[in-house]
Structure 1
Amino acid sequence: MGIYRVRPDAQSYGHEIGILLIACSNPFPPGDVGNAWSYNYPVLYETIYDVTIDSLINEGDRSMAPSVVAAAKKLQGMGVKAITSDCGYMLYFQEEVAAALDIPVMLSSLLQLPFIAATLAPSASIGVICANKDRLTPELLSYAYPHPTRELHVAGLQDAPAFRYAILDEKGELDSDAVEKEVVERAVKLVEEHPEIGAILLECSNLPLYAAAVQRATGRHVFDFLTMIDFVQGAGRRRTYQGGY
């Protein structure tokens, strides 16, 4: 079977993706970045206890960058092939973490914006549904999309009661059906107001489980954290091909 050697920093082996978790008390159902059943490959989690929803989303505090880098380095030492996170606003730390590691880093679903734009006609725009529109500032967006070629239309969930209760206010209970209704309503409204939208990006890591419903309601391609993670994982674990010719 071959020779295996100890990896000094590893406590377990075989993990494809390392996921940095912010400190929160949200439920993580299947389809959420924080639920391991969302993947067809092994993932490894590491919580950063001084990064919270309030400090990251509401305040935009970047002082925790050393803690984020340290956690990412720990996951790299454990042998993961790439690093992501469970919050799109972790984009604040993308440059620092990428500079400190030797493996791909994709801390925010927003990093897909240039790729999505490149797939669309010049006249098309992109719809973005995020956790807090007020905090999705032009400065933050510029970290992922520094040279916009397609217009962005953003809808936030900060005033959606079910989403706010479960995610932003961390009440410990998630009504998935109610949140799905809120997300779909915002997506439909975006497309009605801006019919030139060619694709929709779900910023928040809690939203991929609603992507299919958004797609059914809008008929658009829907991107999220999981489309990004699956894409990078696939590039790092290529399979061989067999068959007839």
Structure 2
Amino acid sequence: MFQSRRPLGILELDEGLPAESSLRVPRPGGLLNPATFDRPIVTEIVEGAWPDMVIRGDPSLEGACVAAARRMVERGAAVISSDCGFFIRHQAAVAAAVNVPVVMSSLLLVPTLLRQLAHPHKLAVVTADSRHFGEELLSLDNPRDRARVVIGGVEGGEFLHNALMRPPIQTKVDQIESEVSACVAQLRAEHPEIGMLLMECTGFPYVTNALRRHTGLPAYDITDLCRLTLAAVCLD
């Protein structure tokens, strides 16, 4: 039954890793692990999409994103996502180019999550690098909504340093949890109104459950959005 289901398609960063690299083996609970969704996964590397270029927002990558998404649809993908939340900059172009649902980033959830929260509660978005997190990534036109979103990043830590290496170095889950927990703790100290968490980075689903336990807050990540979208399409 598992193998008969239409796959989830994921646009991958171009990290210069050989096919046999141990870093290409998906870890439990991650976006690239088929067991996370109980269905196959197909991937296509976006040529030239090095992590630093995607985080900074290089517009020249749009054509490569569209081409990779189309290849995955040809391979049977039922839904298209990506393995970096900053790919949201190419959400509109990819969605216009294929005939399946496209969810490039957990940031698509921001408007919906705000409406789950009563005033004056705030939504905390935790990102890999807040230095390149522009207002346009939130897709919020209402200033009152924008005032209810706070942004925190783990830039300066081991996780981002390792991710930006060419090729990247895998960071231990305990280290990711430590860095993300510290970021959330700082945000909550500055904004005690925080009532919900959203993980932008696709490397954070490994620690989302730990954050839920430690904080007692609802926490969302890209795997939640993918599950929701996959549940809305045909399982065949």
1:132 corresponding residue in structure 2: 129
CA root-mean-square deviation: 2.1
Return the match for 1:231 from 222, 228, 232: 228
Return the match for 1:196 from 193, 202, 214: 193
- C-alpha displacement at 1:39, in angstroms? 2.2
Count how many residue pairs are aligned between Structure 1 and Structure 2.
224
1:50 corresponding residue in structure 2: 48
Paired residues of 2:107 and 2:137 also in contact (CA < 8 A): no
1:62 corresponding residue in structure 2: 59
Return the match for 1:95 from 83, 92, 97: 92
* Structure 1, 69-78 or 172-181: larger mean CA deviation: 172-181
| Rounded Cα–Cα distance in structure 1 between residues aligned with 2:168 and 2:94 | 31
Map 1:138-157; keep pairs closer than 5 Å: 138-142=135-139, 145-147=140-142, 149=145, 151-157=148-154
Change (3 A) 1:85 1:146: farther
| Rounded Cα–Cα distance in structure 2 between residues aligned with 1:32 and 1:146 | 32
| Rounded Cα–Cα distance in structure 2 between residues aligned with 1:112 and 1:140 | 11
- C-alpha displacement at 1:189, in angstroms? 2.1
Q: Does 1:75 align with 2:66?
A: no
Return the match for 1:40 from 38, 42, 65: 38
1:17 corresponding residue in structure 2: 8
Letter in 2 for 1:96: A
Change (3 A) 1:147 1:80: farther
Q: Does 1:30 align with 2:21?
A: no
Query: Among the aligned pairs, what percent are the same residue?
Result: 31
TM-score by length of 2: 0.87
- C-alpha displacement at 1:123, in angstroms? 1.4
| Rounded Cα–Cα distance in structure 1 between residues aligned with 2:232 and 2:190 | 36
| Rounded Cα–Cα distance in structure 1 between residues aligned with 2:34 and 2:11 | 13
Stretches of 4+ moved more than 6 A in 1? none
- C-alpha displacement at 1:172, in angstroms? 2.0
1:7 corresponding residue in structure 2: none
- C-alpha displacement at 1:13, in angstroms? 6.5
2:162 corresponding residue in structure 1: 166
- C-alpha displacement at 1:53, in angstroms? 0.5
| Rounded Cα–Cα distance in structure 1 between residues aligned with 2:142 and 2:101 | 22
TM-score by length of 1: 0.84
Letter in 2 for 1:44: V
- C-alpha displacement at 1:165, in angstroms? 3.3
